Amino acid sequence: MGRSPSGPFLSRLRRCPPPPSAVRPRTIEAFRTPDERFAGLPDYPFAPHWLELDGLRLHYVDEGAGDPVLLLHGEPTWSFLWRRVIPPLAAGRRVVAPDLVGFGRSDKPTDAGWYSYDRHVATIEGVVRELGLSRLTVVVHDWGGPIGLRLAVEHEDLVERLVILDTGIGAGSAPSETWLRFRAVVRELGGELDIGRLVAAGTAQGLTDDVRAAYDAPFPTPESKAGALAFPELVPTEPEHPTAAAMLRVRDALQHWRKPALVVWGAEDAVLPPRVAERFVELLPNAQGPLLLEGASHFLQEDRPDELAAAILEFAG
Amino acid sequence: MRRWAKRIGLGLLAFVAALTVSAAIYDGVSRGGLPADTLYAGPYVQVDGRSLAYRRWGDHGSPIVLIGGFLEASDVWRSVGPLLGRTHRVFALDLPPFGYSERKGPYTLDAWLDEVEGFERALGIVRPTLVGHSLGAAVAVGEALRHPHGLRGIVLLDGDALREGGAPSWIGALAVDPYFTAVYRMLTGWNWVFRRGLSSAYGAYGPKLTQAELDRWQRPFYVAGTAAAFAQMLPHGIQGYALADLRRVKGVPVVVAWGEHDTTDSVQAGRTTAKALHAPFVLLPRAAHLSMLVDPGGVARAVERVAG
């Protein structure tokens, strides 16, 4: 992985709207991945769209027209993850796939302390608000789960249905032994973390070199990975964890979320095993599934994109 | 006018007579009616006066009973059996009149359930995971309804466990000898018929349809009494349950697994059944109807979701 000097790409951006003159403007340091890193990616022809939120530039894919589908990626991916799901969904629907702050083509605050559950949720709320999205089908994967599920329970009027993929929500304990090993690797490697390799390890079919490179693309330097390094620390591994209370609230609210939901899972996911999928089906009153895709691991969008798209289309009607 | 009618009548009579004689001769000289043990060496077990053929793999771990579907001998499990046998005691039963079990009716769902229970008693199988493929799925559901506490769980593979209309009752009356046997033997001796059926049931990724592979499927049809058994079974159609019955399955872990290219029983039918049973639905890549021979690893993993 090339390690280009970060200086020229480090932009100073204001996070908040201009504060009263008495208060000194607060700025945050954020890394902006150069555009040329995203040139010629495989199966990713989508034009970039941008939003300015709290002084950070946010990137999203916006394809097709009709009732909107919001695709929320998680750790450590970006909208590229959905590239083979977007075209079939965009025939007849508007598909919006944002890159979370710290990921993909969105700005990446370099201070790991910037990242929190609340901030990620606020960003996605900002996308929904700025684009005026309603009647949403929200598709969540990995960390997109806690974010998108909270959007669903806190803005029930905007969300029509949920598609839940290989994710988890606030149990106050580690998701699995495999996940603990993953966190240990992230902590040990820090900025040297090999993102493409991490994604490849979460697939059953493996990744080609160009696809792996596309997952590396957003992160050319150690400090660009702050968001990816922060996510494992935000997972509530014990009941006293700072994120635990908020996530448990979401989980409790989901027990009363009566709109339709579909649970689809990689049958070979070792990080979040299929029994987690079964718990989601038990948790939500009107959940279907789980549909377990054999030949798919955690990143089922890589292993079985066609079957995933077909399942979403059938569910969303 | 009447003369013509008479001639046509006589002609027809002569034709029927010739057909009958040639069918009878064909029946006499064609292959059929062989004792099962000349075609399959065993093991066999005696259950309620019937000799049941089976296969087994593995010598430790919780038991698994595999039940094939329509026309399936227990050798359809030849790839999955050894995989599960590493950590389980695995038994695959030939449901009569398929495979090499004795052709002794009735061939009804209730009789099959009795046979499965007798088979388990005879071999000392307690609280098994019951896996039913295709028609066998109805047997698995039947056991779950009869003895929910006698099962560790059930796995439905490429079978929705639902009954399908079946043939009208008079169709059995058409199965008259010597014609029925002649037609039966012609069809079952005809490679083309098997090649066509198997290429659809295997899909694009199945075993190669060599003569040896076709033989595997043709051989059970030579077991004595098979033609008569089919004639007896025909009016029952595809036996199974109503969707409402499936909703009565309680307290039994269920997994439904399906070949994604299955055209014999649609993936949609599988989803509907999984929904009625509140069961996870496992979609197997590359596989069509005979998923256990195309994706044995995927099938074994689906079974182990229940069997441990």
Separation CA B200–CA B221 (nearest Å)? 20
- Give how far B147 is from chain A: nearest CA, Å: 24
Comparing C-alpha atoms, which of A115, A107, A104, A296 is closest to residue A215?
Answer: A104
Q: CB contact, 8 Å: B281 with chain A?
A: yes
- Give how far A128 is from chain B: nearest CA, Å: 32
Show the CA angle centred on residue B296, arms to residues B293 and B300, nearest 5°: 140
- What one-character-per-residue DSSP string does B237-293 give? -B--B-HHHHTT--S--EEEEEETT--SS-HHHHHHHHHHTT--EEEESS--S-HHH
Q: CB contact, 8 Å: B304 with chain A?
A: no
Q: CB contact, 8 Å: A293 with chain B?
A: yes
pLDDT tens per residue across all 317 residues of chain A: 333 434 334 444 434 444 444 444 457 899 999 999 999 999 999 999 999 998 999 999 999 999 999 999 999 999 999 999 999 999 999 999 999 999 999 999 999 999 999 999 999 999 999 999 999 999 999 999 999 999 999 999 999 999 999 999 977 888 899 999 999 999 999 999 999 999 999 999 999 999 999 999 999 999 999 999 999 999 999 999 999 999 999 999 999 999 999 999 999 999 999 999 999 999 999 999 899 999 999 999 999 999 999 999 999 98
Separation CA A274–CA A290 (nearest Å)? 8
Number of domains in chain B: 1
Comparing C-alpha atoms, which of A266, A276, A290 is closest to residue A203?
Answer: A266
Report the complex ipTM.
0.74
Separation CA B282–CA B259 (nearest Å)? 9
List CB contacts (< 8 A) between A309 and chain B.
none
Instruction: Please enumerate in sequence order all residues whose Cβ is within 8 A of that of A4, keeping only pairs 6 or more positions apart, or say none.
Output: A34, A220, A221
A274 with B281: Cβ contact below 8 A: no
Domain membership of residue B66 (yes or no) is yes
Which residue in chain B has the smallest CA separation from A290? B280
Separation CA A208–CA A19 (nearest Å)? 48
pLDDT tens per residue across all 308 residues of chain B: 678 888 888 888 888 787 777 777 766 666 668 999 999 998 999 999 999 999 999 999 999 999 999 999 999 999 999 999 999 999 999 999 999 999 998 999 999 999 999 999 999 999 999 999 999 999 999 999 999 999 999 999 999 999 986 655 566 666 677 777 777 777 777 788 888 889 899 998 988 889 999 999 999 999 999 988 988 888 888 899 999 999 999 999 999 999 999 998 999 999 999 999 999 999 999 999 999 999 999 999 999 999 99
Length, in residues, of chain A:
317
Domain membership of residue B179 (yes or no) is no
pLDDT of residue B95: 96
Among the partner residues A268, A290, A304, nearest to B280 by beta-carbon distance: A290
Q: Which domain holds residue B243?
A: 36-165+238-307
Among the partner residues B278, B283, B298, nearest to A291 by beta-carbon distance: B283
Q: CB contact, 8 Å: B282 with chain A?
A: yes
Two tokens, residue A242: 């700072």
Domain membership of residue B81 (yes or no) is yes
List CB contacts (< 8 A) between A307 and chain B.
260, 283, 285
pLDDT of residue B155: 98
Q: CB contact, 8 Å: A260 with chain B?
A: no
Burial class (CB in 10 A: 0-12, 13-18, 19+), A113: exposed
For the four alpha carbons of B44, B218, B58 and A278, in that order, the dihedral sign comes to negative
List CB contacts (< 8 A) between B301 and chain A.
267-268, 294
Domain membership of residue B27 (yes or no) is no
B301 with A268: Cβ contact below 8 A: yes
A267 with B281: Cβ contact below 8 A: no
Q: CB contact, 8 Å: A288 with chain B?
A: yes
Two tokens, residue B92: 């695959």
List CB contacts (< 8 A) between B83 and chain A.
none
List CB contacts (< 8 A) between B281 and chain A.
289-292
A292 with B282: Cβ contact below 8 A: yes
Domain membership of residue B231 (yes or no) is no
A293 with B302: Cβ contact below 8 A: no
Would you call A195 helix, strand, or coil by DSSP? Answer: helix
B301 with A294: Cβ contact below 8 A: yes
CATH code, domain with B135: 3.40.50.1820
State the pairing for strand pair A136-141/B44-47. Answer: unpaired
Residues B222 and B32: beta-carbon distance below 8 Å: yes
A307 with B260: Cβ contact below 8 A: yes
Q: Which residues of A are catalytic?
A: 142, 269, 298
List CB contacts (< 8 A) between B285 and chain A.
293-295, 304, 307
Among the partner residues B278, B281, B285, nearest to A295 by beta-carbon distance: B285
Domain membership of residue B147 (yes or no) is yes
Domain membership of residue B256 (yes or no) is yes
* 244-273 in chain B: CB under 8 A from chain A: 257, 260, 271
DSSP-assigned beta bridge partners for residue A30: A11, A109
List CB contacts (< 8 A) between B282 and chain A.
267, 292-294
Domain membership of residue B141 (yes or no) is yes
List CB contacts (< 8 A) between B259 and chain A.
none
B282 with A289: Cβ contact below 8 A: no
Q: Which of B228-231's residues contact partners 24+ apart within 8 Å by CB, and which partners?
A: B228/B103, B229/B96, B229/B97, B229/B103, B229/B105, B229/B107, B230/B97, B230/B175, B230/B184, B231/B172, B231/B175, B231/B180
Would you call A122 helix, strand, or coil by DSSP? Answer: helix
Among the partner residues A277, A278, A304, nearest to B285 by beta-carbon distance: A304
pLDDT of residue B237: 83
